Amino acid sequence: MQNDINKALEVLKDGGVILYPTDTIWGIGCDATNHEAVKRVYEIKKREDAKAMLVLMENPNLLNSYIDEVPEIAWDLIDTNDQPMTIIYPGAKNLASNLINSDGSIGIRITNEEFTQRLIKRFRKPIVSTSANESGCESPANFMEIDAEIIEAVDYVVTYRQEEMEKIKASSIIKIGLGGEFEILRM
């Protein structure tokens, strides 16, 4: 795992794109603060940049660096949830502009998976995480289901956890507002 972290870190620092395991499905990722890297992820996915992607962080204490005001309900959701959950927050900041939704929001998931936690902690910035498939195609449940075109398009493919065949589902998605309102988009 450490070798993969070191290589992925080099690629991320150079503005490259990685294919990596997450706490849910395999993801295509890059530096969430790098406009050009984010643009490349959209190109690999053949996706218009009006369709948002989420970012991973390893520590909820970093939310204030990327969200204007973290709604109180977010802390409750983070503290009580034991499954991967993406929260869409209003007021995104300090991220690549082409990553932020047109309404100013951004989806963020705090990862509890060892590889992504260690990688993000060493990188010291959030990492984009979007499913490893072309836009409109079904998300791969494991590494073996990832299309060869996606694998060839990225700058580095993590070897850690490639052999796992377990089918893992995507995270739940909850959109929250400053007033405590929320909407469940996917369970």
pTM (global) more than 0.85: yes
| CB contact burial 63-90 (16+ within 10 A = b; e otherwise) | beebbeebbebbeeeeeeeeebbbbbbb
Instruction: Express each pLDDT in 43-95 by its tens digit.
Output: 999 987 767 799 999 999 999 999 999 999 999 999 998 889 999 999 999 99
pLDDT, average across residues 139-162: 94
List the CATH number of the domain containing 173.
3.90.870.10
Which among 67-81, 115-129, 137-151 has the top mean pLDDT?
115-129
pLDDT of 50 reads 65
Q: CB-based contacts of 82: which residues, under 8 Å, 6+ apart?
A: none
Q: How many domains does the chain have?
A: 1
Place of tokens 């490349």: 40
Task: Domain of residue 75: give its range.
Answer: 2-186
> Mean pLDDT, the chain, as a whole number?
93
Residue 81 pLDDT: 86
Cα separation, 75 vs 166, in Å, equals 30
What is the structure's pLDDT at 169? Answer: 76
Q: Given this model, what pLDDT does residue 27 score?
A: 95
